[in-house]
Structure 1
């Protein structure tokens, strides 16, 4: 893959998304000049969009282009856009459904809003690229172009079992993240999916529990109330299966703690598409299994 793969970005509709302020902050001519200098492109002239076009045209190889995209889409300061989201929320005009309940600034809120804004810009860029059958995605290491029809393969179907709107939305957002190659988010959402299912079961069964995020404690209570707490009367194969389920939950939880978008450690292992798909499908399969047993118990 060479620079020509990214030339599709150098079109007016995409450049306008970069600089016009609909998603990211509006960029003045001086700010575009400074951006060019940062990437070794000086003496820019013409309108704002022409200057940005010159910058993109001057990035001579794939490495330069991906460095630019990583900076612009993942690193560049977008605090003004974050503040605008909170201002609009306070006015009752939330621009994003995911952040419509955030009304004050703090590090956690600002970081989350910035993530939503960055994803929205990439989504809009990909709408412009869709005519060409391509989309821009971040694979955990760098930006790449992939075919726009690449889709997540979800093995299990929970639509007939999961009746909680939050869990449904969480699963739908996981599929969107996968298709946008936002792979780190898959880990967090997969873990949250399992946690949410455990909480739903405990609430359905009217079990007292402390909602503290301890997924291990949730699991113990769920296994007990559903009658799947292993003991020495169980068939060996069933014991092995339940032990495997517990290991899957532990693995996803551990991956969330070390690999997900919730932590910024530079030492964490980069998640690739195959592993992200495995994690998501494992979480969906576990959710289906536990909710299926819960529904069966409620009918008896």
Structure 2
């Protein structure tokens, strides 16, 4: 049985500096108790209370990071009171934003990431690199070009951006198949490339016994299938008449959805090149 992941000492020290200015004594007590921090309630100043209670959480609970996640969920959702009365970015707003950034950076420096909703994930032995990092790491110029095109065109021509979202996936899958020395045809569609890649990775729904993993595998297939159809039917991949252009209702937010969905799949596939 693995020992519980403890709250890192630098995080404890940083929160003991920040929280006293953000919470009353009663507020701290309520927050920590509702987050699952163990009794007894430590004595002392607010700074000492935060520091002692987080250390106590490390010692007396089986999931210290779960407690930390609940605490930080409250902190990250905090806003400056009467924010709407300030003109522009006030000093109070800037200070709070800077404090949140310091906490995020401290988490990252200790291999942790906060996910809204109160989850702390640990990126230890198997770091998840972003798509951009993987592209740079492996020198995949073709993928990098399509990523830049996609983001450049979101506002100017969201239909074209949808095409580039598909191009990102296509270039990524070809890079993966090339690395694995899997043969594909020059005329293969995005669906064909995904089928070959999914078989190689073991990402077909039939490859999983767990029903929840089957849903995830099916969801990835749906993303690829949806982007392929979006690219073929609504983008500029095959040219558009004026009538078609007027009937297409893709907006920038739709293009962003397609791009970020494509990037999620692409980032995962590129990680497997390792």
Scaled to the shorter chain, the TM-score interval is 0.3 to 0.5
**TM-score, normalising length: structure 2:** 0.48
**TM-score, normalising length: structure 1:** 0.44
- Rg: which structure is higher? 2
